[in-house]
Structure 1
Amino acid sequence: MRNIIEPTSDHIETAQPGEGWINPDFDPDLLPARRQKGRGAVSNIDGRFERHIHQAVDDGWMNSLIEDQDAPRIRTTLGIDGARSVITRNQSPDVPFDRSINPYRGCEHGCIYCFARPTHAYLGLSPGLDFETKLFWKPDAPTLLRKQLAVKSYMPAPIVIGTSTDPYQPVDREKQLTRSIIRVLSDCQHPFSLITKGALVTRDIDLIAPMAAKNRASVAISVTSLDHRLSNLLEPRASAPHRRLDAIRKLADAGIPVTVLCAPIIPGLNDMEIENLVAAVHDAGATSVSHIVVRLPLEIADLFEEWLAAHYPDRKAKVMSLIRQMRDGERYQSEFGTRMRGTGPIADLIARRFDAARKKHGMTGRSLNLDCSGFVRPSANGQMSLF
């Protein structure tokens, strides 16, 4: 049951905690969300923990007043994340690592499908536009990392940088936080791998290459599509496809092993590119490739449907039908083992096509077999241990 508080164009409606966002398709009086150039999400839906849901309703005046106006631009802001530790642990059987570092919370790349979007709800912010405009960085991350590595009980294993949000998003050009983290790991000869869709990664080749030469570093580049228009809509502030391919070439030429994550594969949008994607990244110098089908947990499902309605209204029903066919009729399944691959004939066909393309080009699947034997534990005061 919905209770409208006051009759204005910005109605506030109550909902039970955790009830979530109400899809505008269910109410013809709701004003349609207005897409913004350079942003992925179309709206700023309320997070699942909020007690109230804010929705704009057409009272007969507003739609005619705004239809010829551009949506107001939202500036990107950067706050400080005061985290007390920087290494995050996981026990997921779906990934080949158990620890990671994310220098930033939120991501200006604005990928509409990003599975990290729901984490902004923990901050009382929207997983929509807030996630890509209200960012937080961890200025103490290098110091915290050194302290964690200095603990005598710490045992080294590959650390993956950028598992949730991109370490090479635009803000890192100025902050260079990712470079500072890599420098600490390099000083300690600690193995690491980077995941990014930012061509900015080539800036740090001078630090990554020497570690890669000892089998202590690798890079994973995410390539979703070779179609510039689709990529620009899906990932509006990420590097263009041709720049990612160029980054793969530069990394490979420097002797750095590069794997490509074709993620996500969205049936009805980019699945027709599978063979061309694998061929292109192989020609650029990648040695391995893997894929993940689109994941729509929590608020992302509504955000993604809203994005489809704004950019591909003619494909929306088909795309969502295909996604549901990979999820036993649901928009998402969270179970380990299936959440990244899906189930059913469509998911199986996607996997077989990737296997065939990988075999054709002599590529392997993703692995993280990095050498941990050279780890040099730093002392608590920041110096390298001599013993």
Structure 2
Amino acid sequence: MTKHTSPSQWRNRAGATTAVAAALGLMILTSGCSDSESQTSALTGVSATQAAETTAPSLSLSQLPASMNLTTTQQTQLGEAIDQLNSDRQRLHSEFQRGPRGGGRFGDRIRRTMGANAEPPMVTFLESSSEILDADQFQTLCEYLVSNRPERGQGGEGIRHEGRGRMMGHLASELGLSDQQVSAMQDLMKSYGEQFRTLMESVLDGTVSAEDGVAQATQLAESLKGEMAGILTPDQLAKWEELKQDRIDQGIDRRLENLDTQLTRRAEFLTRVLQLSDAQSSQVEQILLASIPARERILTGVQNGTIPPQVAIMMGLQIEQQILTDIKAILTDEQIQKLEAMKDLIPHGMKMAGRGHGFGGGF
């Protein structure tokens, strides 16, 4: 007799949770993560950036490299910015510790706590720091922060999956998955997750073109779909697709409604942190807003099933790489230096063709 996994058993099985968490990453790939969570952050729930913020150790002025050669005034101003960063992170951490008792997803709860237009603490800190430091000092600060940021395995990833056990239990119950199916799905999703991450890294590093990335992601998506059909029954697979599409539709509707707002906020961030002139600021906003039709085509393609979510991510990277090229063309050397320095710290949707997640106009 086939043994089925109950919702309570599912929640207690780390391997099963990992398997379907990876699967859900494909299911909800374009669900938008609300205004403060975006693009490749599995695109729903808590972003990796927000999760990592809650586990980041407190920063102090004395920890910063002496090579920054801060003046007395800079020390005072940067010390105040650091205090604000630590305070904001502590508020995020406290909200996470409250858990689901606060009601709703973390993104909703944190907006109630920190305000409807709350930005990740690191974004605010970078804005303040860019006004205090010169380009070389700012670069040194960013390099220090990158080398000392918490990894997902140090707590952020676990926090990011808040409430996912309940979701997994619901999915197991809905699909009636057996233990054997859970194990097979775990192996499948681990394998394809690693392949997709490797492909994305190759595109980001420039060893694979964005165009080739789209083609390879299309092949991976088709292969994954075929192997899933060999694990799930036709009824289970149909139910899976139904649940996946429901989730995608909800997220995409939110993203389509807010694209212009998200991209305008992203332009405002770049204006502040790069200290753009009025002319540059206007050009950056125009570059970002001009990408809306392409983003809408991708999102509606995922929504109507003509673009696999994995392929949508690669197509989004194509957009971001072109935006990065266009924006760099209007920046000074010093502004480019700042942009490059902070790339690995700011959310993916704001940093254009780099690593990270969070607030902004991703897609």
Query: Structure 1 length as normaliser, TM-score?
Result: 0.27
Please state which structure has a larger fraction of its residues in helix.
2
Tell me which of the two structures has the higher relative contact order, counting C-alpha pairs closer than 8 angstroms and 6 or more residues apart: 2
* Structure number having the greater strand percentage: 1
TM-score by length of 2: 0.28
